[in-house]
Chain A
Amino acid sequence: MERNLMKGNEALAEAAIRAGCKCFFGYPITPQTEISAYMAKRMPKIGGVFLQAESEIGAINMVLGAASTGTRVMTSSSSPGISLKAEGISYIAGSDLPCVIINVQRGGPGLGGIQPSQADYWQATKALGHGDFHVIVFAPSTVQEMVDLVTKAFDLADIYRMPTMILADGLLGQMMEPVTFPDQQSINEYDKSWAADGHKNKRKHNIINSLILSPEDLEKSVQERFERYDKIAKEEAMAQCYLTDDADIVLVAYGATARVTQSAVDLAREKGIKAGLVRPQTLWPFPADHIRTASENASSLLCVEMSMGQMIDDVKLAINCSKPVHFYGRTGGVIPTPTEILTEIENISGGAKE
């Protein structure tokens, strides 16, 4: 397999194309613009569609349209742009349409900054629009993992007929790492008999719709969707554990922060502190079981994020607040250093324990 040195955003775009993405609708915003630029260059060569929309709102609604026809479709943006897409994402979820949405997070709120951030965790996992619904959220921590998770994101979107999101950050989007792509990727085909792609006078007309005026019927449709969510929560949660078997302090971090945190765990181990790391790869569904199991013998947990503390809520819920869950975070585009995290570990664990 060929290894390529690629920027995170470009690797992500290439992976989407290889996963069968046929339409991309985007709008320029730092730090994800390379995805659009790559799509603009490649899509015409493979008979796909690249279109720069008039707005983020336009882009997500073009996604709604293309997804309605059963076509694999993707859009990407960064934090302020995702807020604009929220309306469309809610309609897409309410219409049971599959699509992939990329958020290369930057600092907020408001226009915020353009440096890496994880301050959209709440938005991605709790409230990506109005109404009762979820989006499957993946949290890669390397350029290679961005590539691997894009294919999975398209597959799960099709399997469960719902939007999926890659929650990256400016660091992952902008950094260059060697990546390999599968040689001849087979693209899985899923049932699209529900699609509004013209019935050719061969079937009854299909309707893509999120309007249900009867409260009982709307409740029923939401409950049915939540049965699907229950299945997803049971089957699709993903996390990687690092040195957690004998850990006394279990750190929890995702995305780019997990890389820094892993270095801090290594530094702590060198000092004789039994530290370990759980790295959630899906944020919804949240890998609560992984965290519970990994921290069974630990005396405390430390959640590290590039925010003021958002995922920590889910970590506390995962262990039913049965142990102290500490927090260390930097925000606004500041990336925490391994030394800062090590200091935090030392403070919590009371120094080296032989």
Chain B
Amino acid sequence: MSNTEKTTKKVFTRPNALADVPTHYCPGCTHGIVHRLIAEAIDELDCLGDAIGVCPVGCSVMAYDYFNCDMIQAPHGRAPAVATGVKRAKPDNIVFTYQGDGDLAAIGTGETVHAATRGENITIIFINNTTYGMTGGQMAPTTLPGQVTQTTPYGRDTDTAGFPIRVSEMLATLDGVAYAERVSVDNIKNVNRAKKAIKKAFEYQTQKKGFTIIEVLSTCPTNWGLDPVKSLKWLEENMMPYYPLGVYKDKEAQ
């Protein structure tokens, strides 16, 4: 052993579950942070060999290249149904989906609500960035009232485009949900909380407690037309008041 190895301690390294490849995500986008948190949780729970990820259509469609566990690419919105099929066939594997807001709360609402109410023993990582990122920034079900997008050029008018869906609050009303928490990755404190929540959701799954969902407030600097730092500030000032952070359901705490 060399002297350097004796005296230095490695404090930061790439998680084993995260592939050593460049991602296609835009600079400043928070997908990278969330991917890392999932990978850290998988490493810490030592379940890489049992984990199966499901990524549907959206910015995260190519996440199958970014995680080192087995991966399945699902049709738009259908990840909870695909994950259900995986989990029912292989109940001892750890199954997670990684879905955006358009995917989960618009085209995949039915699949999401029913996987949740069945108490399907899977974990959903839900990225809420108030926009369809991959297709260039159209209105999502989570787009805020007044928010300008490509398809709400005058701002989301709730008279014609309706209101945003608060997914965590909605799913928390269902008996099949074991854990629902909304977190954010806008600062270090919140990133640490998000990590804890994701790990807890996976732990609940290994204990077969039922459906778990972690909603992550995220940024989309490219489609918001803001730089990464201003995007984080926009998230804090606009998204957090509408989407308060916190635990919305915890079967164990009840």
Contact = CB atoms under 8 A, between A and B. Distances in A.
Contacts of B70: 196-199, 205-207
A73 B82 CA distance: 13
Contact of A62 (B51, B85, B113): B85
Interface string B62-91: 101101111111110010011111111110
B48 interface: yes
A211 B83 CA distance: 18
Interface in A42-66: 49, 51, 53-55, 57-59, 61-66
Contacts of A59: 81
Nearest to B16: A201
Interface string B48-67: 11111010000001101101
Contacts of A223: none
A197 B81 CA distance: 16
B150 interface: no
Contact of A57 (B51, B54, B78, B84): B78
A53 B51 CA distance: 24
Interface in A232-271: none
Contacts, number: 135
A61 B62 contact: no
A211 B50 contact: no
A207 B64 contact: yes
A87 B75 contact: yes
A69 B53 CA distance: 12
Q: Which 9 pairs from chain A and chain B are nearest by CB?
A: A65-B85, A61-B81, A62-B85, A54-B114, A196-B70, A65-B82, A66-B85, A61-B78, A66-B89
Interface of B: 48-52, 54, 61-62, 64-65, 67-75, 78, 81-90, 93, 110-111, 113-114
Interface of A: 22-23, 25, 49, 51, 53-55, 57-59, 61-69, 71, 73, 87-88, 91, 95, 196-202, 205-211
Given A54-B110, A59-B81, A61-B74, 9 more contacts: A25-B85, A51-B84, A53-B114, A61-B78, A65-B83, A65-B88, A200-B49, A210-B73, A211-B73
16 contacts: A54-B114, A58-B114, A61-B74, A61-B75, A64-B74, A65-B84, A65-B86, A66-B86, A88-B75, A91-B75, A95-B73, A196-B52, A199-B48, A201-B49, A205-B69, A208-B72
